[in-house]
Amino acid sequence: MKFLALSALLVSTSVLATSVRITSFNYVRSGEALAELCGTVSDATTTPSFVRVQIDHTSNRPATYNTLTDTNGRFCVAVVTFRGTAEASVMNQNAPVVEALIAE
C-alpha cells in the first residue's frame, strides 16, 4: 500500500511541465522599433532558467535574444522588432514554444 501511495505521488508530480508565458510585448515609443518583451516561466527544473526569444520569427531575418529569469521565474528583455512578432521558449527543457504579437 505504501508503494502505491509513493508511486501515485511521483506520477502526479512528474505531470507538471515547464511552461513559458509572454505577459507583455509593447513598443517603448510609438513609431520606433525598440520594444520590451516580458514573461514568466513556471514549473522550471532549474533556477534561473534560460529563455530564448526569437523576434520577427516568421521573417527571413529573425533575431535571437537570450535572457535569464529571476528567482520567481520572471524575465524582461529589450528587443528591436520590425514586424512585431515574437516567440519564446525555455532552453534545455521540454517546454512548448509560445508566440506573441506586439500590442499596439
For residue 99, the model assigns a pLDDT of 77
The rounded percent of the chain whose pLDDT value lies above 70 is 80
Could you tell me what percent of the chain has a pLDDT over 90?
56
What pLDDT shows up at residue 6?
Answer: 36
Cα–Cα distance between 74 and 68 in angstroms, integer? 8
b/e sequence 28-48, b meaning 16+ C-beta within 10 Å: eeeeeeebebebbbeebeeee
Per-residue confidence (pLDDT) for residue 104, from 0 to 100: 61
| Secondary structure percentages of the chain, helix, strand, coil, to 5 | 10, 45, 40
Query: pTM value?
Result: 0.77
Element at 9 (helix H, strand E): helix 2-14
For 14-54, what is each residue's pLDDT tens digit?
456 788 999 999 999 988 999 999 999 998 888 889 999 99
Looking at residue 103, its pLDDT comes to 65
Residue-range domains of the chain with CATH: 17-101 (2.60.40.10)
